[in-house]
Copies of this chain bind each other. A is one copy, B any other.
Amino acid sequence: MTRAQRPMRADAQRNRQRVLRTAAEVFAAEGLSVPVHEIARRAGVGTGTVSRHFPTKESLYAAVLLDRMGQLSGYADSLAAEDDLGTAFFALFGRLVREGAAHRGLAEALAGSGFDIEAAASSAGCNVSDRLRRLLSEAQDAGAVDPGVTFADIKALMAGCLAYDGPDPDRVIDVISRGLRVPG
């Protein structure tokens, strides 16, 4: 147990954020194979700076992904105030799909290297997965979602949707949402 380390120097913190944001944009726009060197260039820092904050490229992937999950977690919290549970569920589902499209590759790359995303996320205090699970069962109790649908189905559908990165994601989400509602 070492003493609580002193806070990061201001410029270091700034650079870290800058790299993280740049990386998120660049990965989303051009894929994960963009060289670290290029991310450093666009962020306006040296490659050494990137390396220091994120010792491997993989750790940069993880940081970008966790950062995004934190944001989504905030959105999930904001839905707690929603009265209509069906609306809340479909809102979160839709948002996850829309926002997640760009990050599917990240999740794949990390999973492929034995990085446990869910564990890391929940230890970071943002378990989007649990919130969605709870919303699903509440929405089912409220009669807004087909009770035959399982959480695994939802995850699978999302995994699918996350890949879609074309125009009109709303139409896709609509069709799927329709499939999830109570039949009849």
Residues of A within 8 A of B (CB): 31, 104, 112, 149-150, 152-153, 155-157, 159-169, 171-172, 174-180, 183-184
In the assembled complex, 26 residue pairs joining A and B whose CB atoms fall closer than 8 Å, in A order, are A104-B163, A152-B167, A153-B171, A153-B172, A156-B166, A157-B164, A157-B172, A157-B175, A159-B163, A159-B164, A159-B166, A160-B160, A160-B162, A160-B163, A160-B164, A160-B172, A162-B163, A163-B163, A175-B179, A175-B180, A178-B178, A178-B183, A179-B179, A179-B180, A183-B184, A184-B184
* Cα A159 to Cα B174 with chains together (Å): 15
A183 → B minimal CB distance (Å)? 7
Residue of B nearest to A176 (CB): B179
A39 → B minimal CB distance (Å)? 18
Q: Contacts A176-B176, A180-B175, A183-B178: A31 and B156 contacting too (C-beta < 8 A)?
A: no
For the residues of A in contact with B, the DSSP-based class is: helix
* Cα A6 to Cα B176 with chains together (Å): 52
